[in-house]
Amino acid sequence: MEKKDLRIVYMGTPEFAVESLKRLVEGGYNIVGVITMPDKPMGRHGTVLQPSPVKQYAVSQGLKVLQPEKLKDESFVAELRELKADLQIVVAFRMLPEVVWNMPRLGTFNLHASLLPQYRGAAPINWAVINGETETGITTFFLKHEIDTGEIIDQVRVPIADTDNVGDVYERLMNLGGDLVVKTVDSILDGSVKTVPQDKLAEGEVLRPAPKIFKETCRIDWSKGVKQIYDFVRGLSPYPAAWTELCQGSAAPQVLKIYETDKIFAEHSFEPGTVVTDKKTYFRIAVTDGYINIRSLQLAGKKRMGVADFLRGYHHEDGAVVK
């Protein structure tokens, strides 16, 4: 079968999923439909509807778009069936019911931003950086009942530098993901595809999960060490961002989002969470084995700024702490 004859349905929502769709379109593959999330209400009153990045790209290419509220809805399932897909591809979408993933004759494969079976879940890039991993990757695998557990088709390994934040790794994986999706489609098309059960790769491994990240997940625990906090901040930067509360005197606590830090290993006598600053050039937080030197941050209601700009408008009182 030629690639122009292979009927593909593509499913995805965020920017991460646009790159793979773009590679398929530009490569001349036959995309018969794109499934994405319903438009999201935006603005103060929720009156403006914002289409997903995948929808925006699909519409620009004249592709058919479906936006079901519920994936088990009978009218959606019927409409999907009418597309007569040979293959479905899922990149950063939702958990699919069996009636959807089991529909095409060649199956449904997913692109996941980790080296499965490690970091199954909704936020694999964040958790790999938070946990201080020096390597991650991308995986394509066929879908089955349990989420992120299907047989692996292919993987690409990617180093994580100590200075990388989640945004850096995201960009790298997004671009490599486009290559891997095309390679996977070609292997399915020419019949050379081979798969490996995840159980085989999981033997002797301690598996780390990648659960969804909520606001409270992002709060910094200042009782931890320099390396753990440094990795935590970069694993949430630039989005959704690690945060803390700055407390001093009788003033109400101020929420600070923290984006960039340096590690300073040192002995000191301060309690963890104590603010140490010269009020002009540095703003450091004492932790158990040194200091976290803050380089860029954001006050609630303000723009992100470098620490020197922050200190120009910051009135420091002795005894200030973060919690």
Q: Which residues are annotated as a binding site?
A: 114-117
Q: Check pLDDT > 80 for residue 45.
A: no
Residue 169 reports pLDDT greater than 90? yes
Enumerate the known binding-site residues for (6S)-5,6,7,8-tetrahydrofolate. 114-117
Supply the pLDDT for residue 249.
Answer: 84
pLDDT band, very low/low/confident/very high, at 203 (cuts 50, 70, 90): confident
Where does the pLDDT of residue 318 fall: very low under 50, low under 70, confident under 90, or very high at 90 and above? confident
Chain segment 77-118, per-residue pLDDT in tens = 999 999 999 999 999 999 999 999 999 999 999 999 999 999
What pLDDT score was predicted for residue 149?
87
User: Which pLDDT score is estimated for 231?
Assistant: 98
Position 314 pLDDT exceeds 90: no
Closest CA to 173 of 188, 156, 190: 156
Strand partners, 225: none
Residue 31 pLDDT > 90, yes or no? yes
Q: Are 169 and 136 in contact (CB under 8 A)?
A: yes
Q: Considering only 80-84, 264-268, 317-321, which range has the smallest mean pLDDT?
A: 317-321
Sorting pLDDT into bands at 50, 70 and 90, what band is 2?
confident
Mean pLDDT for the stretch of residues 169-187:
97
- Above pLDDT 90, what percent of the chain? 88
How far is residue 168 CA from its own chain's centroid?
11
Residue 316 predicted with pLDDT over 90: no
Domains delineated in the chain = 7-202 (3.40.50.170), 216-322 (3.10.25.10)
Higher per-residue confidence, 203 vs 165: 165
User: Exposed, middle or buried: residue 44 (CB in 10 Å: 0-12, 13-18, 19+)?
Assistant: exposed
Instruction: Tell me the H-state helices in 50-165.
Output: 53-60, 74-82, 98-101, 124-130
pLDDT reported for residue 291:
98
Measured distance CA(155)–CA(140) in Å, rounded: 7
